[in-house]
Amino acid sequence: MLLKATDFGNDFIWGTASSAYQTEGAYNIDGKGQSIWDVFSKTIAKTKGSAEKGCDFYNRYLQDIILMHYLNIRNFRFSIAWTRIFPDGIGKVNRKGIDYYNRLIDFCLEMGIDPWITLYHWDLPQALENKGGWTNRNIIHWFEEYVQTCLHHFGDRVKHWMVLNEPMVFTGVGYFLGIHAPGKKGLSNFLPALHHAMLCQGNGIRMIQAQQGLQAGTTFSCSPVHPFSDNPQHVEAATMVDTLLNRLFVEPLIGMGYPIKSLNLLRQLEPFVKQGDEQLMHCVPDFIGIQNYTKEVVKYNLFMPYIRAQLIKAHERKVPITAMNWEIYPQGIYEMLKQFAAYPQIKNIIVSENGAAFHDKLIHDKVHDPERIAFYQSYLQEVLKAKNEGIPVKGYFNWSFIDNYEWAEGFEKRFGLIYVDYPTGKRIVKSSGYWFREFLCPTVKKEKLLEQSTFAA
């Protein structure tokens, strides 16, 4: 069946997504302060380069938004760099940072593109990390000041807000495994970071909802978790991993509290929980964003600490994978939409990220990426299946618009509809970008505004 956007209904929201640190570059321009990723990428993790220049979206946003319009994309999810607003995390507002995002928002609207803001996409000010970052309970107040400032300056034009991007990832991978910024490890860092992020998530949504006419949500990374077999030990291990990956941040938000019965480890949160915290972290959002890329298969392992569970890597299971070594499993997005829709408190779901990295090759100024087209077609079929079954999925944002800095993977992993030649900054529409353009509006006539597939530096 030939899939097209109109199959989803005329009110379905179609968009694309990016984040500040991964695309903007200009890391020390116009008063911007250092973030934890500015420091981590250079001095701690020794990752494959840093995003100091990145995709140079900071200077090229006009070109990129015009290109977005050309591809018929009418909703753009991007994040605010906290350090452009408050170079030191709190205190004096950086006027040049405010002006930049005002220009970006205004140009999006001029081009008929609705801006969706993510308030926190992992780039905490280093000045706040020096005070403990997410492990310091004072971050509740720091974050509140940041959110209020953004609402004051941008809330008159931006109607859709996402508070946190994938809190389980930035707390788990950044404060437990130490693979991402700020590179901290262990439960003593993870547990307070987890709880304080939970409090900021609820409080941030509440602050946005207090502003008339604004819609507030947050986003969750999620993957279906399957047991290796029907052995009861494997099933129990899968339940614990599902609790950790998929339930931990949503259930306290909607008033169910921490899922302690399914994950005994959470009992160790008790020293960090204060009176009234359960009410503070509870705030039913107007929508949630789910971000699905793959699935996990789990088996019991007695020697794994805390959860007695081990993930079986996709390549060991001989399944189709992306360049990230993630399993291509289209049914997974259907499973996760169904799982989150089972919470009666959740009335609206947006797929706020979905996409794939492949080994794109630039040949004669063209990028042919049929694997990515097949990926989108198969995953969107599952989104449509969910919608047709009555699951309240209201929109879909692809990840990502342009190739960008993929955190600890550096620039090697490319997710974009647009190929970025990093040495020159040239933008080249991939085959998947043209496919997406046609999918969104198959009857549109070719525009004369942009006749070339290559855009000069």
Give the pLDDT confidence of 417-431 residue by residue, as tens digits. Answer: 999 999 999 999 999
* Residue 87: DSSP 8-state: T
Most distant CA pair in the chain: distance in Å?
A: 63
- Please tell me the pTM assigned to this model: 0.95
Q: Which residues contact 321 (CB under 8 A, 6 or more apart)?
A: 314, 315, 327, 328
Spatial distance between the Cα atoms of 288 and 291, rounded to a whole number of angstroms: 10
Residue 61, token pair as written in the block: 């946003």
pLDDT class of 381 with cuts at 50, 70, 90:
very high
Q: What is the arrangement of strands in the sheet containing 418-421, beginning at the earlier edge strand? A: 418-421, 426-429, 454-455
Residues belonging to the active site: 166, 353
Q: Which residues contact 140 (CB under 8 A, 6 or more apart)?
A: 196, 199, 200, 203
Topology of domain 5-223+246-295+340-455, CATH: TIM Barrel (3.20.20)
Domain boundaries, the chain: 5-223+246-295+340-455
- Mean pLDDT is lowest, of 46-60, 141-155, 393-407, 428-442, for 46-60
- Mean pLDDT is lowest, of 148-157, 189-198, 422-431, 438-447, for 438-447
What is the rounded average pLDDT for all residues in the chain? 94
Q: What is the pLDDT of residues 242-294, one digit of tens each?
A: 999 999 999 999 999 999 999 999 999 999 999 999 999 999 999 999 999 99
% residues pLDDT > 70 (the chain):
95
Peptide bond between residue 182 and the one before it cis (omega within 30 degrees of 0): yes
Q: What is the pLDDT of residues 81-138, one digit of tens each?
A: 999 999 999 999 999 999 999 999 999 999 999 999 999 999 999 999 999 999 999 9
